[in-house]
A = this chain, B = another copy of it.
């Protein structure tokens, strides 16, 4: 970046200070804007394309070709080809052929998996096998070893969301290969994490080690669809019956599932249109069930099961349900909250 004022004295000055690695604020623009100027744009990736291209990758690319993961990253059209769904989040589909294993590693960027279709695979989290079923949310928080196994006879695909761009922007990416253990393919229906922490609202084992509690993320690593669905049905029973939403939280204390990712599931009943809103931070949304329309900053996107869409920061956002929609949302809201930067406005 070089500054030119068309005034010789000033230009000389700009040259001098440039040598000294200084830049004049008064020649810059766009640093402080009335509202966020966001490069990422609203966009929807259709289930059909995601599935087709993931399956095709399964044919063309071995799992160990690079990065040990067969992953297609959603690249926001506003980000000039960066492989990120927004400036702060990474979203992708991951595809595992029958019998394949994606080996263990861990990294400081935190991740979650949400299963939009199928089942049969499991994830090993610091040695605890977690079976992945449709509608399940599986956490792979920062610095937890994880590997993925598909012992079934069908390929499987799921949605990955990571805080990678944010952790990279903070210059805090660390990575380690995992231990290469012999995989024990006999996997229980319920992980140790669920046996300990998933047994009901407010029930926590008393004998738990203090260290488990001191990790910055939820000790419950998977939230099953059956429970989420039941919770939504219960809330609809209580309210006006038009929409309901649950937040997935750390059952052992008062916080989101991880320090960087907030997760929610929203049910919008057929025929209902939500109040429009806008909020700071990125929302990555995935349609589990139902059909309808997302109105994002004036654009309309048709929604079907398996679609993924992104709502950039401060973007107008409204959903209309044609048939009853179940939309999973993950966002960087815990970060904005912690930094005093979370804002939300309803638009009437």
Interface residues of A (CB under 8 A from B): 1-2, 9-10, 13, 16-17, 20-29, 31-38, 40, 43, 45, 49-50, 53, 56-57, 60-61, 65-67, 69-77, 81-83, 86-88, 92, 105, 107-109, 142, 164, 166-176, 190, 192, 194-207, 216-218, 220, 223-224, 227-228, 230-231, 234-235, 237-239, 244-254, 257-260, 264, 280-282, 312-314, 332, 335-336, 338-341, 343
Contacts and interface: CB of A to CB of B under 8 A. Distances in A.
23 contacts: A1-B75, A20-B49, A21-B43, A22-B73, A26-B69, A28-B73, A33-B173, A34-B174, A35-B173, A36-B172, A108-B341, A142-B341, A169-B169, A170-B332, A195-B237, A196-B234, A196-B235, A201-B227, A202-B218, A203-B248, A205-B245, A207-B235, A252-B254
Contacts of A313: 170-172
Contacts of A71: 24-26
Contact of A34 (B10, B53, B176): B176
A231 B259 contact: no
A127 to B, nearest CB: 13
Contacts of A67: 25-26, 28, 31-32
Contacts of A73: 22-25, 28
Copy number in the complex reads 4
A337 B312 CA distance: 25
Contacts of A10: 60-61
A316 to B, nearest CB: 14
Given A172-B280, A173-B33, A216-B340, A195 B20 contact: no
Contact of A246 (B16, B37, B109, B205): B205
Contacts of A1: 75, 81-83
A280 B170 contact: yes
A111 to B, nearest CB: 11
Nearest to A171: B313
